[in-house]
Chain A
Amino acid sequence: MSETWIDAGDPEDIDADDVARFDHAGKTYALYRTEDDRYFATDGLCTHEKIHLADGLVMGVIIECPKHNGRFDFTTGAAKGAPVCVNLATYPVRIEGGRLRLRIA
Chain B
Amino acid sequence: MADTREIVIVGAGEAGVRAAIGLREGGYDGALTLIGEETHAPYERPPLSKAAIVSETTPELPGIGDARKLSEIDVDFVSGAVATKIDPNQRILHTADGAARRYDQLVLATGARARRLRLPGAELGLRLRTYDDALVIRERFRAGSHVAIIGGGFIGLELAASARALGCEVVVIEAAPRVLQRATPPEISSVIEARHRAEGVDILTGTGVAGFAIESGREVVTLADGRNIAADVIVVGIGAAPEATLAAAAGLEIDNGIAVNARLRTSDPHIRAIGDCASFPHPLFEGRRMRLEAWRNAFDQGAHLARVLLGEDEDFQAVPWFWSDQYDICLQIAGAPDMGARTLKRDLGDDAVLLFHLTEEGRLIGVSGVGPLGKIAKEVRVGEMLIARRAAPDAAALAAPGVKLKGLL
How far, in Å, is B386 (CB) from chain A's closest CB? Answer: 13
Residues of the B chain whose Cβ atoms lie less than 8 Å from the Cβ of A15? 404
The residue of chain A having its C-beta at the shortest distance from the C-beta of B22 within the complex is: A82
The count of residues in chain A whose C-beta lies closer than 8 Å to any C-beta of chain B is 17
**Which of the residues B67, B374, B378, B381 comes within 8 Å of A85, measured between beta carbons?**
B67
Residues of the A chain whose Cβ atoms lie less than 8 Å from the Cβ of B65? 82-83, 85
Residues of the B chain whose Cβ atoms lie less than 8 Å from the Cβ of A56? 377-378, 381
Assuming the A-B contacts A52-B373, A55-B374, are A67 and B323 also in contact, with contact meaning beta carbons closer than 8 angstroms in the complex?
yes
Cβ of B100 under 8 Å from chain A: no
Cβ of A73 under 8 Å from chain B: no
Q: Mark B367-381, 1 if CB is under 8 A from A, else 0.
A: 000000110011001
Residues of the A chain whose Cβ atoms lie less than 8 Å from the Cβ of B323? 67
**Which of the residues A55, A68, A85, A86 comes within 8 Å of B373, measured between beta carbons?**
A55
In the complex, A54 Cα to B296 Cα: how many Å? 21
Cβ of A51 under 8 Å from chain B: yes
Assuming the A-B contacts A57-B381, A68-B296, are A51 and B68 also in contact, with contact meaning beta carbons closer than 8 angstroms in the complex?
no
Would you list the 4 A-B pairs with minimal beta carbon distance, nearest first? A66-B377, A55-B374, A85-B67, A55-B373
Q: Mark A70-105, 1 if CB is under 8 A from B, else 0.
A: 000000000000110110000000000000000000
Residues of the A chain whose Cβ atoms lie less than 8 Å from the Cβ of B68? 85
In the complex, A68 Cα to B382 Cα: how many Å? 14
Assuming the A-B contacts A17-B406, A66-B378, are A85 and B21 also in contact, with contact meaning beta carbons closer than 8 angstroms in the complex?
no
**Can you list 13 pairs linking A and B with CB atoms under 8 Å apart?**
A17-B406, A55-B374, A55-B377, A56-B377, A56-B378, A57-B382, A66-B373, A67-B323, A67-B377, A82-B21, A82-B65, A82-B303, A86-B67
In the complex, A55 Cα to B299 Cα: how many Å? 22
**Which of the residues B374, B381, B382, B404 comes within 8 Å of A52, measured between beta carbons?**
B374
Residues of the A chain whose Cβ atoms lie less than 8 Å from the Cβ of B382? 57
Cβ of A64 under 8 Å from chain B: yes
How far, in Å, is A55 (CB) from chain B's closest CB? Answer: 4
Which of chain B's residues 295-311 have a Cβ closer than 8 Å to chain A?
295-296, 299, 303
Give the bracket for the number of chain B residues in contact with chain A. Answer: 10 to 19
Known interface pairs A55-B378, A69-B381; 19 further A-B residue pairs with C-beta atoms within 8 A, sorted by A's residue number: A15-B404, A17-B406, A51-B373, A52-B373, A54-B374, A55-B373, A57-B377, A57-B378, A57-B381, A57-B382, A64-B381, A66-B373, A66-B377, A66-B381, A67-B323, A68-B296, A82-B299, A82-B303, A85-B66
**Which of the residues B18, B21, B406 comes within 8 Å of A57, measured between beta carbons?**
B406
In the complex, A79 Cα to B191 Cα: how many Å? 35
How far, in Å, is A9 (CB) from chain B's closest CB? Answer: 17
Chain B interface, DSSP helix/strand/loop, else mixed: helix
In the complex, A68 Cα to B299 Cα: how many Å? 10
Residues of the B chain whose Cβ atoms lie less than 8 Å from the Cβ of A52? 373-374
Q: Mark B16-54, 1 if CB is under 8 A from A, else 0.
A: 001001000000000000000000000000000000000
- Contact across chains for B18 and A82 when beta carbons are under 8 A apart: yes
How far, in Å, is B18 (CB) from chain A's closest CB? Answer: 7
In the complex, A67 Cα to B406 Cα: how many Å? 18
How far, in Å, is B349 (CB) from chain A's closest CB? Answer: 16
The residue of chain A having its C-beta at the shortest distance from the C-beta of B302 within the complex is: A82
In the complex, A92 Cα to B21 Cα: how many Å? 35
How far, in Å, is A57 (CB) from chain B's closest CB? Answer: 5
Which of chain B's residues 354-409 have a Cβ closer than 8 Å to chain A?
373-374, 377-378, 381-382, 404, 406
Which of chain B's residues 117-132 have a Cβ closer than 8 Å to chain A?
none
In the complex, A66 Cα to B373 Cα: how many Å? 8
In the complex, A43 Cα to B92 Cα: how many Å? 49
In the complex, A29 Cα to B2 Cα: how many Å? 48
In the complex, A82 Cα to B67 Cα: how many Å? 10
How far, in Å, is B277 (CB) from chain A's closest CB? Answer: 21
Residue among B303, B381, B382 with the highest chain A CB neighbour number at 10 A = B381
How far, in Å, is B93 (CB) from chain A's closest CB? Answer: 26
**Which of the residues B299, B373, B377, B381 comes within 8 Å of A83, measured between beta carbons?**
B299
In the complex, A15 Cα to B402 Cα: how many Å? 13
Residues of the A chain whose Cβ atoms lie less than 8 Å from the Cβ of B295? 68
In the complex, A54 Cα to B66 Cα: how many Å? 24
How far, in Å, is B97 (CB) from chain A's closest CB? Answer: 31
Residues of the A chain whose Cβ atoms lie less than 8 Å from the Cβ of B378? 55-57, 66
Residues of the A chain whose Cβ atoms lie less than 8 Å from the Cβ of B381? 56-57, 64, 66, 69
The residue of chain A having its C-beta at the shortest distance from the C-beta of B299 within the complex is: A83
The residue of chain B having its C-beta at the shortest distance from the C-beta of A49 within the complex is: B47
